[in-house]
Amino acid sequence: MAYPTANEHDNALRLQTPLGRVRGLGSAKNGTHHWYMQRVTSIALLPLTLWFAFSLAGLAGAPYERVAAWAARPLNATLLVLTIAISFHHTAAGMQVVLEDYIRPDSRRRLAILAVQGSCLVLAVLGVLSVLRLAL
Amino acid sequence: MSGLDSAGKRVRRPLSPHLQSYDMFQMTSLLSILNRATGVAWTIGLALMVWWLAALAAGPGPFATAASWAGSWLGLLVLFGMTAAAWYHTFAGLRHLMWDAGYGYDIPTTYRTGWITVFATAAFTVLTWVVVAVAWAGRA
C-alpha cells in the first residue's frame, strides 16, 4: 500500500484553508509586506543616500542663494522629495519594529507606534512642502 | 511576561533570553546592535534634515540661524556622528540584503563582511568630510 508522501501528510494536518495558504497573509492579513517594504525602501535609499550625503558635503559653507538655487533645480527637488518620503517610510517601519521589541504593555506599544508614525508623517509633509516651496 | 491569548484571556508567555545573557561585545552582536542604534539615531537625523530644509524654504534669516548651528562645534560634532551613522547603517544594510538573498552566513564570511562594513564606514565618513573641507576651503 502507498504511504502518504511527506507533502500529503503535511497537508492533512493543516488547519489553514488552501486559499489562505495561497494568499500567504497569515493571521495579521498583511503577510511579509512590512518586512518586504523595509527591504525595498533600503534599496531605494542606497543611491539616494550617496547623492544626498555628497551633495550636502559639497554645499558646506555655501551662501543662502546658492543652496536655495541648488534645492530648486528640478532634478535635485525630485531627488529631495524622494529621499524625504522614502526615508520617513523606512524610519517609521524600522522604529515600529524597535518599539514592538521593547515597549510593553500592548496599549502603550500601540500608542508609541502611532506617535512615531504620526511624527514621521508631519515631518515628511513639512520637508516635502519646503522643497516644493523652493522649487515651484 | 503576560499577554492575551486569541480568546482574550490573560496568559503568561515565555520570555526569550534578554541582554544580560549574551556577550554583547562579540563582533556579530556589537555590529547588530550598532545597526539598530544608527537607525534610531537617524530618526533624529531626519528631523534635523527637515529642519534645515524648512529653514531654507523660510528664507535667508532662518537659514542663517540653521547654518550657524550646523557650523558650531556641537553642530559639527553631531553632523560628523550622523555621517558615520549614515554610512554604517548603509553598509550594514547592504550586509543584511546579502543575508536576505541567502549568502554569507558562515562564521568566517560573517567576520569578513563585518570588518568590511567597519572599514567602509570609516573610509566613506572620511571621504565625505574631505569633500566638506574642500568645499569649505574653496569658499573661504
Is A31's pLDDT higher than 80? Answer: no
- Give the per-residue pLDDT at A23: 80
Whether A67 and B131 lie within 8 Å, measured CB to CB: no
Whether the model clears a pTM of 0.80, i.e. scores above it, the answer is yes
Averaged pLDDT for residues A131-135: 97
Strands B10-12 and B2-4: antiparallel
Contacts of B54 in chain A (CB under 8 A): 126-127, 130
B90 contacts A57? CB cut-off 8 A: no
Q: Is the pLDDT of residue B140 over 90?
A: no
- Averaged pLDDT for residues A104-108: 91
In this complex, do B39 and A71 lie within 8 Å of one another by their Cβ atoms? no
A123 part of contact set with chain B, CB < 8 Å? yes
Sign of CA dihedral B116, B118, B122, B127: positive
Chain B interface, Cβ < 8 Å to A: 1, 3-4, 36, 39-40, 42-43, 46-47, 49-50, 53-54, 56-57, 59-60, 63-64, 67, 71, 83, 86-87, 90, 93-94, 96-97, 100, 128-129, 131-133, 135-136, 139-140
As a whole number, mean pLDDT of residues B33-61 equals 97
Mean pLDDT, all residues of chain B: 93
* Residue B5 pLDDT exceeds 60: yes
Mean pLDDT of B91-99: 97
Q: Contact, A66 vs B56, CB < 8 A?
A: no
Looking at residues B5-25, what average pLDDT do you find?
77
How far, in Å, CA of A18 to CA of B125, rounded? 51
Residue B114 has a pLDDT of 97
Checking if the pLDDT of A5 tops 80, the result is no
Q: What is the mean pLDDT of residues A119-124?
A: 98
- Is there a contact between A71 and B43 if contact means CB atoms under 8 Å apart? no
Can you give the pLDDT at residue A2?
62
Q: Cβ separation of B135 and A106 shorter than 8 Å?
A: no
Give residue-wise pLDDT tens across range A59-102.
999 999 999 999 999 999 999 999 999 999 999 999 999 999 89
pLDDT score for A27:
72
Task: Tell if the CB–CB gap between A60 and B36 is shorter than 8 Å.
Answer: no
Query: What does the alpha-carbon distance between residue A5 and residue A22 come to, in Å, rounded to a whole number?
Result: 20
Give pLDDT, residue B3.
77
Cα–Cα distance, A111 to A107 (Å, whole number): 6
DSSP string, chain A: -PPPPHHHHHHHH--S-HHHHHHT-TTTT-TTHHHHHHHHHHHHHHHHHHHHHHHHHHTTT--HHHHHHHHHSHHHHHHHHHHHHHHHHHHHHHHHHHHHHH--SHHHHHHHHHHHHHHHHHHHHHHHHHHHHHH-
Give the per-residue pLDDT at B13.
79
**Choice between A11 and A130, residue whose per-residue pLDDT is larger:** A130
What integer pLDDT is reported at residue A13 of this predicted model?
65
Mean pLDDT of A19-48: 87
Q: Is 90 exceeded by the pLDDT of residue A127?
A: yes
Determine contact: A102 vs chain B, CB below 8 A: no
Instruction: Name the band, by pLDDT with cuts 50, 70 and 90, for residue B23.
Output: confident
